[in-house]
Structure 1
Amino acid sequence: MSLTLEIVTPEAKVYTDTIDSVVIPTVEGEIGILPGHIPLLTQVASGELRVAKGAETQFLAVSGGFAQIEGDSVRVLAENAITEEKIDENAVEAAMKRAEQQLAEAKALDPQELEHLQNLVRYSGVQLALKRRKR
């Protein structure tokens, strides 16, 4: 038995494949999905999404959105998602520093802008941790 996993952001389809299992970061902790999982709709948190296919495990950084599990189909609709090999460490570090600087300098940000910057810092942190794990 297998699962079909699709990960989509507002910009693009980031991932689609037939897999054995997936571990998704949710606001209530990580959940593992195997074939035959009960139907579920859950909120995705910033974190590491792990895809198992055969003996291989692939890692993606995700943030925000929802995961829908129905039958043997898993669909993740995320604000941001990127595969490990596409993460540009220098670009992520620069974006994270800019967002942290804006947060530090901001006296009166509106709540939406504040939340956006905080999410950017969190997502950047996830990407860097993913990229640096193997060192």
Structure 2
Amino acid sequence: MDLQCEIVTPMDIIYTAPVGLVTVPGEKGEFTVLKNHAPIISVLSEGKIRVIGKDGQENFFDCKSGVVECKSNKIVILIHE
């Protein structure tokens, strides 16, 4: 099973796709989530979310604050952009 990523704002789902990796600005520092990552929930700080899709395309999303949850190869990022 691929790592699935969904990025959600209060207004819309702005990204949903299988990904190779996701890097987020955690409250205690930036961290990267890869396939089979241990379950985690973290508060996000202001910064950039970096997503590399399965096709190798790199995307960046602005984040003012938010929350990320990763479990069972699904990462959901709730952000205020």
TM-score (norm 2): 0.91
1:58-85: CA deviation from partner (whole Å, max 9, x where unpaired): 11111211000011000001122xxxxx
Asked which structure has the greater CA Rg, the reply is 1
Taking the TM superposition and a 5 Å limit, the aligned residue runs for 1:118-129 are: none
TM-score (norm 1): 0.56
State yes or no: 1:40 paired with 2:40: yes
- Structure 1 or 2: larger helix share? 1
Q: Which has the higher contact order (CA 8 A, sep 6+)?
A: 2
The CA RMSD measured in Å over matched residues stands at 1.1
State yes or no: 1:69 paired with 2:75: no
Measured in 2, the distance between the counterparts of 1:7 and 1:58 equals: 12
Measured in 2, the distance between the counterparts of 1:10 and 1:55 equals: 28
Which residue matches 2:7?
7
Taking the TM superposition and a 5 Å limit, the aligned residue runs for 1:17-96 are: 17-53=17-53, 54-80=55-81
The aligned length equals 80
> What percent identity do the matched residue pairs reach?
28
Question: Which ranges in structure 2 are unaligned for 5 or more consecutive residues?
Answer: none
SS in 1 for 2:45: coil
Question: Which ranges in structure 1 are unaligned for 5 or more consecutive residues?
Answer: 81-135
- Structure 1 or 2: larger strand share? 2
